Structure 1
Amino acid sequence: MSETKITIQETTNNTIIKYNSTSVLINGGSYEFNNIDEAKNSPLAQQLFYLPFVKKVFVTANFIAIQRFDIVEWKEVQEEVREQIAAYINNGNAVVNEQTTSKKQAIEVYAEVTPNPAVMKFGTNKALTQTDVEFKNIDEASASSPIAQAIFNFPFVKQVFISDNYISITKYDMVEWDEVYGEVRTFIREYLAAGKIIIKELPKEEAVTSAENKAVKPTIALEGTAAQIVDILDEYIKPAVAGDGGNIAFRSYDEQNKVVSVILQGACSGCPSSTATLKNGIENLLKEMLPNQINEVVAING
């Protein structure tokens, strides 16, 4: 396995900093530790609490966020902490000792129709991932997500999209959802209840989408209008489309032509109403909130 890279990302709260990881740190969900006693199942968090300025540690599948006390500024210590986290992970140590008991968890899974007749949303009370992932076929899923790989074993499954607490599945036209959704729901519930791995490795971007259709996750912070667009998408648009089992990811902003490019995922991809959503919903909202900055919103995969 390649070496894990840890990068530093500032947040809107100047007491909190994020350390992003190129490898998966835990199997879904998240953990929050307020002191060293709460961190008994996380050797890394315990180690971090020995640093006198560490106030709180938050662990997810692909990043560790740390809140500091006011006795230091992050610029004075952030690189030292990054090196400590990277060394710990690359020595093969567990970030969190997750429970591996045979006792099944109480998992609920419910099926919901979406505006896209080819897509069914399967919501759950278990946190699945901190990073949205989409798989177009079983080969893409095999390297990254055992649950997606298993779902592709249903012959009617065309695509799988996994978000924070739901899975959206796109089917081929060979069956109707009312014929098969119960079987899929039962499978997902039993898989999650058994505590099996959801995502074992974050997919390489080029493996998930073609070079022309990549959603951008910039290594540097966006600025200006592009940053404002992302904020609006995150606050106003994504929660609404997530309710329908979909996702819209920012790709780019052409400042000269004032054109926003996005990626449609999950139930939004291939949805008959997606064009109306883009034009009547997203485009109008962005024009209203960013006057004279937006001429058009286009989906580069729809």
Structure 2
Amino acid sequence: MLGRFLRWESVLLVLCVAVFVAGSFSDGFGETSNISFLLLDYSEVALLAFALLPIVLTGEIDLSVASTLGFCSALTGKLWDGGMSFETIVPIVIVAGIVLGAVNAVLVVRFGLPSLAVTIGTLGLYRGLAYVLLGDGAITGFPENYRPLATDSIGGSFLPYATLLVLVVGALIAVLVHMTTIGRSLYAIGLGTETARFSGIRVNRVKFSLYLLSGCLAAIASLIYTLRYNSARADNANGMELVAVAAVLLGGVSIFGGRGTVLGVATALLAMAGLRNVLFLDDVSNEIQNVITGLLLILSVLVPVVFKPRRTKDVPLDPSVVDTERRPGADTGSRLRRDHQGV
């Protein structure tokens, strides 16, 4: 019972409650309009985090998600400014996001390049292409009949339409990760790529598909972002990839792969959104908020290392040696099943 309570998801839940209790002392925090703003403010970050989650589970990374969002936003503006209907723009932008994801997939999977180096490169490439499309200008005046989907709440409640979309995507990712054989494959790949291959898992196909999914979700996030701010700019969501990565790692997903749950990431997102909102209400500058985000990113990587001696029965030190250097009594198979089921 004590071990279950001390699982990282439980710690995050306590942190989340503490943030919202602290927020209750800020003027206006508990108002319906503010809760709606709190949820809406992190809708794009949540979509990017859910895009990153399965990729990080395999031991890879995609740092280009925010730049993909920026490019797709710029493309949306360019097409709209050219007179194309928004109904036609939406599928084109989503396909463009998938294409950008495919570029990452080809470089990482087909050519075997390190995903960190590749996606740092495409981070700059995609952002540069966004500037090629729009330059330093902005396109505004998007259709008013679609904007409420990115700005308004359902029936005047605290739940925005965009957050509902996030919940649906999160639920689908949870089903994929925790309730399917594909999800089990993600954990197996993260624990050891070669072992996964010998087990019959098509590692390259799985990773390739994940990058396509990442590009698709980033494109969807770009549509919400563009409509919400009624502005298509090349620098939209600049730096958002760090916030999304911080949410994933703070949510308990191992940067080395093989461990993590959707529940942990969702709780981390809610805690970070609440913290950002409290700081906003208390007039804390964006610079200080960025410092706090950086500290959270460092802590999310540092905490598992600090508590490593306590977790050695559950988490191998190196995924590549999961079959050859297990500690006596460590049951990798049972841990894989436990993380796969998200409990």
Q: TM-score scaled to structure 1, two decimals? A: 0.29
- Bigger fraction of residues in strand: 1
Greater length-normalized contact order (CA 8 Å, ≥ 6 residues apart): 2
Q: TM-score scaled to structure 2, two decimals? A: 0.26
